[in-house]
Structure 1
Amino acid sequence: MKYQFPQNFYWGSAASATQTEGEAFQAGKGTNIWDHWYQQEPNRFHNGVSATEASTFYRNYQSDIQLMKDIGHNSFRTSISWSRLIPNGVGEVNREAVEFYSNVIDEQIKQGVQPFICLFHFDMPMAMQEIGGFENREVLDAYANFAETCFKLYGDRVKHWFTFNEPIVPVEGGYLYDFHYPNVVDFKRASTVAFHTMLAHAKAVEKYRALDQDGQIGIILNLTPSYPRSQNPADLKAANICDLMFNRSFLDPAVKGEYPQELVELLKQHDQMPVVEVGDCELIAKGKIDLLGVNYYQPRRVKARENAVHPEAPFMPEHFFDYYEMPGRKMNPHRGWEIYEKGVYDILTNLKDNYGNVPCYISENGMGVEGEEKFLVDGQIQDDYRIDFIKGHLKWLHKGIEEGANCLGYHLWTFIDNWSWCNAYKNRYGFYQLDLKTQKRSVKKSGEWYAGVSKANGFED
């Protein structure tokens, strides 16, 4: 069977500033929440490893972009670090950073690798967090001004902009489940941060449109389909509430310019609504995107709760559902996540049927493997499991496109094994292996395979 993809399909990968650049305290960069949290609680990071050095992209970007080209990338997404460009979040721009990002963008274009640039990938400047982060509306304006600065500096060359990557993750990690700084557990504050993030997004979109540049602006969302255990009404209700909270809370405002009424009613009913000020809804309506990035790793499977909620427990999304482990599910044994390739098709079908077939691309998909060096043979990681993983998802992606889904590309997470938030280098995701001692990059079998896919704009199986 031959799987051929549309002309000009985006083949590439994704990464972020904090996870790759290094030079965390060098070259004029301000402190972000990750730098600060590591200084406070290094024990919260796997093996006590920080992002201070990461994968040294700051020093090696030219050769790294050449490596992208070598495996057939025609596009690559990374982010601009707000704290590197504007160290205090507002005010003085760091000239070294201006030059660095300009050089990265120029090098990508020179190598025929289109720059996809994200403006916020979990890395709030500490100076902004100290005044409340996205709980504080002043920070929304600071973010919008940072975005405008980027558009003015690089918009002549960058034609694909994204305001946020997975904006729900800082909400979940920082304000609900205690896996990102500032480690708050408070649903009302979480809903405020979520709402304010979308206001910040809309402000950035407004700034971009006012400049009348000839590119596209979008957002990148981790859309995780919520599958009910059964067709029992209680299970269906649980899955619907999951979808409202984890998917539609960002998808609807980004694509439709409004929030689902059902979500608003639910939050009101439980006294968890953020404060909505005059003009907020009109602003959200102006934030409708041109291009949606879709991150997909694993499904969410849920069922109705089996036990009553403890009356004194803090209010949580899990008040409405229990997680469900489907018997016979296919697993990534090295990471403990379910592999469900059809999920990518279900997402595309949903976007086609319910979101006006918004132009989209798969902005992240990938397979993390702990202890990947055990697959080293004659100096190369033989990651056939990653090839099978990508292939399985591309087949369902292809089916979605054949049925009319407006999907324009596929990016793997990630290009070179990179530092991952609290997990450091525990799980490896790259097309290239990174030797932490020497920083040497070595292409894995999957990288060579992907080069062939990109060149042929498809594959046979």
Structure 2
Amino acid sequence: MARLDFPKDFVWGTATASYQIEGAAKEGGRGPSIWDTFSHTPGKVVGGDTGDVACDSYHRYEEDIALLKKLGVKAYRFSIAWPRIYPQGTGELNQEGLDYYSRVVDALIAAGIEPCATLYHWDLPQALQDQGGWANRSTIDAFVRYAETVFQAFDGKIKQWITFNETWCVSFLSNTLGIHAPGLKDLQLGVTVAHHCLVAHGLTVQKFRALGIKGEIGTTHNLGWCEPYTNSPEDVEAARRSRAWGNEWFMDPTFKGTYPQFLVEWFKTKGAEVPIQPGDMETIAQKIDFIGINFYTGNYGRYKKNEGLFDCEDVQVGFDRTFMDWNVYPEALYKTLKWVHEEYGDTPIYITENGACYDDTLTEDNRIHDELRTAYFRKHFIQCHRLIESGVPLKGYFAWSLLDNFEWAEGYRKRFGIVYTDYETLARHPKDSYYFIQKVIAESGLDA
């Protein structure tokens, strides 16, 4: 049996997000976010679920860090809730919020785990949304001020920073498709929000450099892979448009300072244009220390007139599906990251999220035999090894997610965790996938 060994300095980690796990929505001086508003709006979240309690990690973070230490990870990716730092988005600083994250960071360091902090994982202060949210350029300035506060508070302790998580979701999923908060449906709005978030990213990187903060800074984009169903020009172009919406639309500005022109022209036919101001593109294309890639799935696409935004029809070719109804397509991870390396150069890459949702069952002895999730991880770890052996600068992998948690518009019915959360008792129970990853980390590799 082939043995696949990973580099000794490969960073194994796992990840969470503030609104999904913290709870304590009205404690510690925290202000309301767009997700508090959205989740409390009837019909927006399955089951009427909210993040008011979530996994209660605000109070149970020490228990969660003990699980991380037992898992053996080198790093933990978490997000800082902007409304805990500036409850109104701007104005008065909430020291109690900074103190909470200081306790979390100190506990991680004491456990020998490197904290990796995401500045924006979707919980925009509602007060800023009331003024137009990310469609209002003043939100950019508010974000940079928030980032500066956090940089200075944790300089030397947090050495890896991510500006934004999944800008495609922040913009198009939330403001064009209306699936996530704030739940709006306008293509121009999605294009505008995407641009403003990218500008905010660039200005934040500039601020990080100007302050002389120790460590590294990057951003995270969620990428996927749309393979043409045939080699016909129509299918190739349809798949290219569909893929570029999530990939090139964000990666090109980040690395090249341009938007993909073919998609700019396509959006114009739909009545949407990018609101670029002088200097914006140079600002966006600040040199970053690494790029984070969140990857879950891929598909096959073929041309079909008036199908969706890009005349591209999804074709099922027999993939297994997760409980989110997403294709299990491990080779697409290899194709995606190899493309990133070939297209954008030698910037170090971290897989900042990868995982699978399944309908887990807790046994009488508090075990969870999640064979499908374990198989999903195994298959994707193999593709990670292929990438490294192929010369792609893949430096680390963060499994999504440490805990079952509030899965956004899907509420609590969709479980991504490698640790089972009992939402009645809030007890944590490691799944078989947790022990599988623990073994891979301990042995720095796996048998294929």
| Shared fold (TM-score, shorter chain, > 0.5) | yes
Q: How far has the Cα of 1:72 moved from its partner?
A: 1.1
Taking the aligned partners of 2:390 and 2:364, their CA distance within structure 1 comes to: 40
Aligned-partner residue type, residue 284 of structure 1? I
Q: 1:237 to 1:345 in 2, by over 3 A?
A: same
The equivalent residue for 2:443 is 456
The equivalent residue for 1:314 is none
Q: How far has the Cα of 1:301 moved from its partner?
A: 2.6
User: What runs of 5+ residues in structure 1 fail to find an aligned partner?
Assistant: 310-317
* 8 Å Cα contact 2:172-2:191 kept in structure 1: no
Among candidates 378, 388, 405, match of residue 418 of structure 1: 405
The equivalent residue for 1:297 is 296
Taking the aligned partners of 2:35 and 2:388, their CA distance within structure 1 comes to: 38
Q: 1:420 to 1:74 in 2, by over 3 A?
A: same
The equivalent residue for 1:24 is 25
Deviates more, 1:254-263 or 1:130-139: 254-263
Whether 1:232 and 2:232 are equivalent positions in the alignment is yes
SS state at 1:323 partner: strand
Taking the aligned partners of 1:172 and 1:277, their CA distance within structure 2 comes to: 21
Taking the aligned partners of 1:327 and 1:301, their CA distance within structure 2 comes to: 8
Among candidates 314, 338, 345, match of residue 324 of structure 1: 314
Alignment of 1:184-195 (within 5 A): 184-195=184-195
Aligned-partner residue type, residue 171 of structure 1? S
Q: 1:26 to 1:413 in 2, by over 3 A?
A: same
The equivalent residue for 1:312 is none
Taking the aligned partners of 2:87 and 2:198, their CA distance within structure 1 comes to: 23
The equivalent residue for 2:136 is 136
TM superposition score normalised by structure 2: 0.96
The equivalent residue for 1:381 is 368
TM superposition score normalised by structure 1: 0.94
Q: How far has the Cα of 1:384 moved from its partner?
A: 1.8
SS state at 2:355 partner: coil
Alignment of 1:249-288 (within 5 A): 249-285=249-285, 287-288=286-287
Deviates more, 1:194-203 or 1:30-39: 30-39
Q: How far has the Cα of 1:432 moved from its partner?
A: 1.0
Deviates more, 1:203-212 or 1:183-192: 183-192
The equivalent residue for 1:428 is 415
* 8 Å Cα contact 1:54-1:419 kept in structure 2: yes
The equivalent residue for 2:340 is 351
Whether 1:70 and 2:70 are equivalent positions in the alignment is yes
Q: How far has the Cα of 1:122 moved from its partner?
A: 1.2
CA distances 1:72-118 after superposition (whole Å, capped 9, x unpaired):
11111010000111101001111111110011111111111111100
SS state at 1:254 partner: helix
Taking the aligned partners of 1:173 and 1:326, their CA distance within structure 2 comes to: 22
Among candidates 339, 350, 353, match of residue 364 of structure 1: 353
The equivalent residue for 1:405 is 392
Aligned-partner residue type, residue 75 of structure 2? S
SS state at 2:55 partner: coil
Q: How far has the Cα of 1:429 moved from its partner?
A: 1.3
Taking the aligned partners of 1:273 and 1:412, their CA distance within structure 2 comes to: 36
Q: How far has the Cα of 1:377 moved from its partner?
A: 6.0
SS state at 1:381 partner: coil
* 8 Å Cα contact 1:253-1:288 kept in structure 2: no
Identity %: 34
Among candidates 315, 325, 328, match of residue 336 of structure 1: 325
* 8 Å Cα contact 1:33-1:129 kept in structure 2: yes
Taking the aligned partners of 1:377 and 1:454, their CA distance within structure 2 comes to: 28
Q: 1:37 to 1:352 in 2, by over 3 A?
A: closer
Taking the aligned partners of 1:364 and 1:118, their CA distance within structure 2 comes to: 12
Q: How far has the Cα of 1:390 moved from its partner?
A: 0.4
Q: How far has the Cα of 1:281 moved from its partner?
A: 2.3
Deviates more, 1:294-303 or 1:49-58: 294-303
SS state at 1:428 partner: coil
Q: How far has the Cα of 1:455 moved from its partner?
A: 1.1
Q: 1:366 to 1:308 in 2, by over 3 A?
A: closer
User: What runs of 5+ residues in structure 2 fail to find an aligned partner?
Assistant: none
Q: How far has the Cα of 1:226 moved from its partner?
A: 1.7
Q: How far has the Cα of 1:254 moved from its partner?
A: 1.6
* 8 Å Cα contact 1:191-1:273 kept in structure 2: yes
The equivalent residue for 2:90 is 90
Taking the aligned partners of 2:353 and 2:181, their CA distance within structure 1 comes to: 23
Number of aligned residue pairs: give it.
447
Aligned-partner residue type, residue 290 of structure 2? L
Q: How far has the Cα of 1:7 moved from its partner?
A: 1.9
The equivalent residue for 2:4 is 3
Aligned-partner residue type, residue 300 of structure 2? R
Aligned-partner residue type, residue 10 of structure 1? V
Taking the aligned partners of 1:308 and 1:221, their CA distance within structure 2 comes to: 27
* 8 Å Cα contact 1:228-1:235 kept in structure 2: yes
RMSD of aligned C-alpha atoms?
A: 1.5
The equivalent residue for 1:315 is none
Taking the aligned partners of 1:446 and 1:181, their CA distance within structure 2 comes to: 31
* 8 Å Cα contact 1:302-1:321 kept in structure 2: no
* 8 Å Cα contact 1:432-1:447 kept in structure 2: yes
Taking the aligned partners of 2:184 and 2:264, their CA distance within structure 1 comes to: 23
SS state at 1:338 partner: coil
Aligned-partner residue type, residue 434 of structure 1? T
SS state at 1:150 partner: helix
Taking the aligned partners of 1:149 and 1:257, their CA distance within structure 2 comes to: 27
Q: How far has the Cα of 1:283 moved from its partner?
A: 1.5
SS state at 1:177 partner: coil
Taking the aligned partners of 2:331 and 2:306, their CA distance within structure 1 comes to: 33
* 8 Å Cα contact 2:238-2:301 kept in structure 1: yes
Aligned-partner residue type, residue 386 of structure 2? K
Taking the aligned partners of 2:354 and 2:183, their CA distance within structure 1 comes to: 27
Taking the aligned partners of 1:219 and 1:48, their CA distance within structure 2 comes to: 32
Taking the aligned partners of 1:5 and 1:107, their CA distance within structure 2 comes to: 28
